[in-house]
Amino acid sequence: MSAQPVNTGELAVVGARVRKVDGRELVTGQARFAADLRFPGLLYASARRAGVPAGKLVEVDPSPALRLPGVVAVLLARDIPGPNLIGILPPFDQPLLAAGEVRYEGESLALAVGVSREEARRGAAAVRARIEPWEPILTVEQALDPAARRIHPGGNVTYSKKLVKGDVAQGFAGAQVVVENTYQTSFQEHAYLEPEAVVAVPGGDGRITVYASCQSPFHLRGHIAANLGLPASRVRVVQAYTGGSFGGKDDVATEIGALAAIAAVRLGVPVMIAHEREESIIGSNLRHAARIRYRTGALRDGTLVAGEAEILLDGGAYASESPFVTMKAMIHAAGPYRVPNVRVESTTVYTNKTYCGAFRGFGVPQVTFASESQMDELAAALGLDPLELRRRNALRPGEGTATGQVFTQSVGIGRTIERVAEKAGPRPMGPKPAEGPPAGAQPATDGGRYLYGRGVACLLQGISNGAEGIDVVGASVQMAQDGSALVGVGLTDMGQGSRTVFAQVAAEALGVDITRITVRQVDTDAVHDSGPTVASRSTTVGGTAVLKAAREVAGSLRSMAGLMLKCPPEAVRLAEGFAMLEADPQARIPLAEVATAAYWSGFPLMHLAFSRAPDARFDHETHQGDIYIAYNFGTHLMDVRVDRWTGKVKVLRHLAAHDVGRVVNPLGLEGQVEGGSLIGFALAHLERIDTEGGHIRNANFADYAVPSILDRLPTETLVVEEPSPAGPFGAKGVGEPPVAGAAAAFANAVADATGLRFTRLPITRADIAAALAKEV
């Protein structure tokens, strides 16, 4: 990455509160999501699901379905030309259609194709499957029992890693205070409003186009081609407008993309698969449930000396992103603190439940809940204010993270703590009595019914693929003769606003208004493979590639303008849609004229540039080394009021401070913080996938409590800008981090209000009311 100092000069578009560049089509209903696409002869397909969590798949009989009117075909596992496998990290372990064995209730056994959605669904339901049920493996303990049935040939451990920094035994030996606890979190559903959908359209030229609601089109292309038994060049994936993803539209989009493509090729007509909500919940990945044993040692002044964690993740039936979630959880377990001795063991296991994978935060919310609960327990044990304890241990530039990585810039955790401290104001229900004990003790009450409390939480979240693999983005910028520019990046906008960020970066570099920039939708035929859209990397790594490409095009324009203005290119500035003399801005030529002249003079007006994050360099045994290109740091504060009678919690105040390096679009930034925080709050309070005997009992929005507008948080976004050399204009991603902060702060606030430490998320109203009733 460039060693040059971060540009902090005057910017025109970057930092401005701009509208979403693709907003107009979204508010007018013109944006076409995958299920909105219509093609002549379109057929619909629907999967027959297993309905039982584990068993031997003896026979799948399509004949009852084929007898139904409107059912065109039924595909079975043997109809799949390729390996019938998908996954993230080889060896892949997830079949498109099960063969021989059922590993979770949502397993697809057959695909019915019908002339309407209803007929396809009826066909799927009519497929007869003979399954000899096995006792399902439902808990992590059952899975790890050496005598347990193996869910996969390699055993029931999906992935297991260790992080070792310093010597924890020695660290604990020197500790004056030690706290220890075990924490649990539950499965969480993405609940994007758009259920997964794809349409596969055969081209007649031996190629097939798949329009998909998805997150990583190149990932889809590879798997679809492999399962079709075709080279990747014969498959084109176009990302349709995507109604939210949050990590959830990788595996499942691959699965239905490949199935639709196989059906379409076989039948020679376009085929759509559009999930219903229940399928979306049962048949696509969830956030891992976690059990984390955590021990923290400190000196009496609060200085952390040792941290030890054992992380066990329930990954469900297939690996999906589990290996990387295992690692990410581990790397973040020690929080944004200076801890000299750290030991973390992190393991994901298979169970006969819906598989788990990427979900905004990627393992970090779970460990942050644990580590930040520990910090509060430690503060209570030491009689220290929770924020003060964090302040004393917050990482500073030049100090090592849990992996020993040292950042000399853009370590803003301390400043986020200060921002929150400044804005915090009095505790709810006024200051505590001066003579009262410090935080964590008996809080103020209100006629006995209401309890008030305040919680804080600090966090860090690694930006970029880091230890998960090579991180390269290719971006193209092309200027037309009218002075407008077309930007192509292989990273997708699923609603988070990356197209707007890319447009801002390009507009800034080219000196044009943002309305002159078009950011194309991702089409694998038209943009460069940029890796998966994950890990809060779009703004940072993607934005850097766009900036580089735009600067090259700007260089051409400046050269041309130099000839026209009779000055060296360096004397030309591009701004306000003009090329102008730096020294005399009145001497200016409209950019369209410059671009036209450049075209006729043969100056290149298109450029493809790459941004490559430095490869992670670390010891694979201990995970010591340089993992991420940057971290987003944050501090959240929540004030709550708890109703003793019903367990209802009202969030009175929510401060969310994040070090984002540089704000690119305040509107987008606030949107990410507000939306991410609500998902974190839901993880902590409202949402839990409820499974019984391997069946999800609440696969709908009536019983799975996605927050409504009446449940929203009063989030105030506080910005800290510690520019990072890794991102464009110093910017760092912010998509994921708020989830962890809000979840952990909520748990700490409830603990502060009730005087009871809840160690399992979600902390539901029922949990709180029951615990308080016992207290009386």
Partner 1 sequence: MQLEFTCNGRPVRMQADGSMRALDLLRDLLGLTGTKEGCGRGECGACTILVDGSPVNACLLYAAKLQGRAVLTVEGLAKGEVLHPLQEAFLEEGAVQCGYCTPGLLLSSKALLDRVPHPTDPEIEQALSGNLCRCTGYAKILKAVQRAADRAGRGDGTSRRGREAGR
Partner 2 sequence: MEYLIAGSVEEALRLMGGLDEQGRSARYVAGGTDLAVQLAGNAAGGQPEALVDVSGIPELLRLERAPGGALSIGAAVRLETLARSADLPACLSQGARAIGSPQIRALGTLGGNLCNASPCGDTLAPVIALGGRLVLASVEGRREVPAEEFFTGPKATVLRPGELLVEVDFGPAALAGRSAFRMIGQREGQAISQVNVAVWLLAEGGRMAEVRAAAGSVAPTPVRLAAAEKLLRGQAWSQGLGREAGQAAAEEVRPIDDVRAPAAYRRLLTAALLREALAEACEGVQ
Binding stretches for partner 1 (CB under 8 A): 19-20, 22-24, 26-33, 35-36, 38, 190-195, 241-244, 246, 276-277, 494-497, 667-668, 670-671, 674-679, 700-702, 706-710, 712-715
CA distance 496 to 686: 23
Neighbours of 77 (CB within 10 A): 18
Nearer to partner 1, 351 or 672 (CB): 672
**CB contact set of 190 (below 8 Å; sequence gap of 6+):** 244, 245, 246, 247, 248, 284, 286, 287, 359, 360
740 binds, among partner 2, partner 1, none (CB under 5 to 8 A by kind): none
Least distance (Å) from partner 1 to the CB of residue 642? Answer: 21
Least distance (Å) from partner 1 to the CB of residue 511? Answer: 24
Least distance (Å) from partner 2 to the CB of residue 68? Answer: 11
244 binds, among partner 1, partner 2, none (CB under 5 to 8 A by kind): partner 1
766 binds, among partner 2, partner 1, none (CB under 5 to 8 A by kind): partner 2
Nearer to partner 2, 319 or 678 (CB): 678
Q: Judge whether 546 and 514 are in contact, CB under 8 Å.
A: no
121 binds, among partner 1, partner 2, none (CB under 5 to 8 A by kind): partner 2
Least distance (Å) from partner 1 to the CB of residue 299? Answer: 39
Least distance (Å) from partner 2 to the CB of residue 641? Answer: 14
Nearer to partner 1, 217 or 443 (CB): 217
495 binds, among partner 1, partner 2, none (CB under 5 to 8 A by kind): partner 1
Tell the burial category of 303 from Cβ atoms under 10 Å away from its Cβ (0-12, 13-18, 19+): middle
Least distance (Å) from partner 1 to the CB of residue 274? Answer: 8
Least distance (Å) from partner 2 to the CB of residue 687? Answer: 9
Nearer to partner 1, 74 or 684 (CB): 684
690 binds, among partner 2, partner 1, none (CB under 5 to 8 A by kind): partner 2
Least distance (Å) from partner 1 to the CB of residue 246? Answer: 7
**CB contact set of 16 (below 8 Å; sequence gap of 6+):** 504, 665, 666
26 binds, among partner 2, partner 1, none (CB under 5 to 8 A by kind): partner 1
Q: Which helix (H) or strand (E) holds 737?
A: helix 737-754
CA distance 453 to 428: 7
Binding site for partner 2 (CB under 8 A): 118, 121-122, 125-126, 645-648, 686, 690, 697-698, 702-703, 705-711, 764-766, 769-770, 773
Q: Sign of torsion, CA 309 310 314 317? A: positive
Tokens linked to 548? 């580089």
Nearer to partner 1, 274 or 309 (CB): 274
443 binds, among partner 1, partner 2, none (CB under 5 to 8 A by kind): none
Nearer to partner 1, 32 or 152 (CB): 32
Nearer to partner 2, 27 or 710 (CB): 710
191 binds, among partner 1, partner 2, none (CB under 5 to 8 A by kind): partner 1
Least distance (Å) from partner 2 to the CB of residue 534? Answer: 29
DSSP one-letter string for 580-634: EESS-TTSEEEHHHHHHHHHHHT---EEEEEEEPPPPEE-TTT--EE--SEEEEE
Nearer to partner 2, 15 or 762 (CB): 762
Nearer to partner 1, 502 or 628 (CB): 502
Helices (H), ranges, 350-474: 364-382, 386-393, 413-424
Please state the separation of Cα 94 from the chain's center in Å: 21
Give CA torsion, residues 427, 429, 430, 436, to 10 deg. Answer: -80
CA distance 356 to 285: 5
Least distance (Å) from partner 1 to the CB of residue 3? Answer: 35
Nearer to partner 2, 224 or 689 (CB): 689
Please state the separation of Cα 516 from the chain's center in Å: 30
Q: Which helix (H) or strand (E) holds 639?
A: strand 630-643
Three-state secondary structure call for residue 386: helix
DSSP single-letter state for residue 193: S
769 binds, among partner 2, partner 1, none (CB under 5 to 8 A by kind): partner 2
Nearer to partner 1, 24 or 449 (CB): 24
- Helical pair 737-754 and 765-775, crossing angle rounded to 10 deg: 20
Nearer to partner 2, 472 or 713 (CB): 713
Neighbours of 763 (CB within 10 A): 23
Least distance (Å) from partner 2 to the CB of residue 770? Answer: 6
Candidates 570, 573, 412, 552; CA nearest to 485 is 552
Tokens linked to 284? 């696509």
Least distance (Å) from partner 1 to the CB of residue 9? Answer: 26
Q: Which amino acid is at 575?
A: A
Least distance (Å) from partner 1 to the CB of residue 472? Answer: 26
671 binds, among partner 2, partner 1, none (CB under 5 to 8 A by kind): partner 1
CA distance 448 to 436: 18
**CB contact set of 376 (below 8 Å; sequence gap of 6+):** 386, 440, 455, 748, 751, 752
773 binds, among partner 2, partner 1, none (CB under 5 to 8 A by kind): partner 2
Nearer to partner 1, 241 or 578 (CB): 241
Separation in Å, CA 604 to CA 151, 483, 511, 564: 56, 14, 18, 16
294 binds, among partner 2, partner 1, none (CB under 5 to 8 A by kind): none
32 binds, among partner 1, partner 2, none (CB under 5 to 8 A by kind): partner 1
Nearer to partner 1, 283 or 495 (CB): 495
Tokens linked to 419? 């921002």
Least distance (Å) from partner 1 to the CB of residue 242? Answer: 7
CA distance 644 to 386: 24
Three-state secondary structure call for residue 160: strand
